[in-house]
Amino acid sequence: MTEPVTVRVQRIMPAVPDVVFGEWLDVESLADWMCPRPSRCVAITVEPQVGGKLRFDVDHDGTGTIVLIIGHFLEIDRPRLLRFTWSNSNWPDPTMASVVNVTFKPHGEGETLMEIEHSLLPAYEQENFHNGWALTAEQLEAVLRAR
């Protein structure tokens, strides 16, 4: 069996940490930027407390095939850290849980260094998740710039 892998993506966001952090907990905002296009979240559940549920129903690549992403919040430290589990319904073992850490650090004038670290991923998903998180971060940056 192949060892799990970790992917990391960093991006400078054009807003202060509290604003960027808030984007991760707001269902309407998440609909604007979560999931790398052409995939789209068609339903989102966020219960922003430790142990609370996180669920994204994703129209995968705009094909109408729905992939469920399900997790629970492990840590919420506003505006510094979000930590949650992540399971994909299209993985060979959909009960397997990976862990996402998102950190938010002040950077420059009114900006945030956001880092997404997704660990315990199946090795075959490394490139998909690295590219997916990079595009998702780019989409979040675009949403913040448009505000």
Residue ranges of the domains in the chain?
5-146
Q: What local confidence, expressed as pLDDT, does residue 66 receive?
A: 95
Contact in structure between 24 and 30 (CB atoms under 8 Å): yes
Q: What local confidence, expressed as pLDDT, does residue 96 receive?
A: 93
Nearest C-alpha neighbor of 102 from the set 38, 5, 17, 2: 17
Q: How far apart are CA 84 and CA 102, in angstroms?
A: 9
Q: Is the pLDDT of residue 64 over 90?
A: no
Domain covering 5-146: architecture: 2-Layer Sandwich (3.30)
Contact in structure between 56 and 41 (CB atoms under 8 Å): yes
pLDDT band at 1 (very low <50, low <70, confident <90, very high): low
Torsion of Cα atoms, 51 then 91 then 63 then 42, to 10°: 0
Choice among 22-36, 60-74, 111-125 with the minimum mean pLDDT: 60-74
The whole-model pTM stands at 0.95
In one-letter notation, the amino acid at residue 10 is Q
Using one digit for the tens of pLDDT, what is the confidence trace for 67-86? 999 999 999 999 999 999 99
At which residue do the structure tokens 């998909």 appear? 128
Phi, psi of 106 (to 5 degrees): -55, 145
Q: What local confidence, expressed as pLDDT, does residue 25 receive?
A: 98
